[in-house]
Amino acid sequence: MKRAPVAIAHDYLTQRGGAERVVLTLTRAFPGATLHTTLYDPEGTYPDFASIDVRTSPINRIGPLRRDHRLALPLLAPASSRLRIDADVVVASSSGWAHGFDTAAGTRTIVYCHNPARWLYQTDEYLGGTAWRSPIGPPLMAMRPFLKRWDRSRADRVDVYLANSRVVQQRIRRTYGRDAELLPPPHGMDASAPREPAPELADWDPGYALVVSRLLPYKNVDAVIEAVRGTGRRLVVVGRGPEEARLRATLPDNVRLLGGLSDAQLRGVYAGAGVLVAASHEDFGLAPLEAAAFGVPAVALRGGGFLETVLEGETGLFFDEPEPDQIATALAGSDGRDWDPARLRARAEEFGEARFISRIRAIAADEGRSD
């Protein structure tokens, strides 16, 4: 049987986020390519994957692992090692697993790296504090020496590394000793596409502050909520994750937490926002670009990928620490600015999908070496 020219790989398809949007872009860059992943939860990720030929590892049969990939941690290295892909070129979207999938002899592997495994190299940040205080911290720390050896041995097999930001480019060099071409991801939010209202906001007028984020400790969503607690400012949080129950338990009346929105509803929520708040430690600052596509400015943490996507004074403002008082001050500063929607939309367009697809196709075709 003739080998496929290109196959796509991704860690796990169990959630909705920037990495999963990149994978959708890869499916448009390489139509007909099979998509290989360890776990696939159709209800937890974007419905667009339903039309793709998704091939999973045997652990996908275990329902609880599909619903919470963190539970699969002890199994993901062996599952990834046994997930074999037969294609001329494999384009892997990886935050720590897909670069380890097994490939046939002669396959060229290109890794689009969102970050070297955060749970290995930034463990405390990933778990939201000291690793030993987290339920999964002790087993992770016990496994870490083995996982680091596995991770680095698999990284050595990669032909081409691509980095989504300068921060990640530096981490790839520091962690794996590899040079990586910088290729920012597309923001993936088409402001001209149809919009639908979110039912939970039927009684709210436009102009609210907005957070779009997975609900994980290092995303600092709790700090944003505290910044508006007891004020007249309305805040919409869009996201799901392990922190959801804790955040809902003390949610003030001026904050609405939404999950499971369709893309049309998410576009409606973005269009109704007055400002986006981005307080997390991000490798690439995607959400401010999505907001900018709708002419919405951002207040963002001064660090990481936000330094590459937010232009201070033109498309947003920065705060130095993810602390409620600093976030509140930045929001007040944004209120006093007369933002130019045309400039914001132009900034988003600089990170459009066509540019990304053109470059990733050229690299897959080996037109201009990137390593």
E strands present in 57-193: 84-85, 87-94, 102-103, 108-113, 160-163, 181-182
223 in Cβ contact with 215 (< 8 Å): no
Which domains does the chain show, CATH number per domain? 4-186+352-364 (3.40.50), 199-349 (3.40.50.2000)
pLDDT at 17: 85
Closest CA to 77 of 98, 63, 54, 94: 98
Cβ neighbors of 143 (< 8 A, separation 6 or more) are: 73, 74
pTM over 0.85: no
Number of C-beta neighbours around residue 325 at 10 A: 12
Tens-digit pLDDT profile for residues 164-193: 999 899 999 999 999 999 999 998 788 999
What are the tokens at 107? 């396959």
- In the chain, where do the E strands start and end? 4-10, 35-37, 54-56, 84-85, 87-94, 102-103, 108-113, 160-163, 181-182, 208-212, 235-238, 255-258, 273-278, 298-301, 316-319
pLDDT (tens place) for every residue of the chain, 371 residues total? 678 999 999 999 999 888 999 999 999 999 999 999 999 999 999 999 999 999 999 999 999 999 888 888 888 999 999 999 999 999 999 998 999 999 988 999 999 999 998 878 877 666 655 555 666 667 777 888 899 999 999 999 999 999 999 989 999 999 999 999 999 999 878 899 999 999 999 999 999 999 999 898 889 999 999 999 999 999 999 999 889 999 999 999 999 999 889 999 999 999 999 999 999 988 888 899 999 999 999 999 999 889 999 999 999 999 999 999 999 999 999 999 999 999 999 999 999 899 999 999 999 998 644 44
In degrees rounded to 5, what are phi and psi of residue 274?
-100, -25
Residue with tokens 């508006």: 228
Beta carbons within 10 angstroms of residue 47's beta carbon = 11
Give the pLDDT confidence of 212-233 residue by residue, as tens digits: 998 988 899 999 999 999 999 9
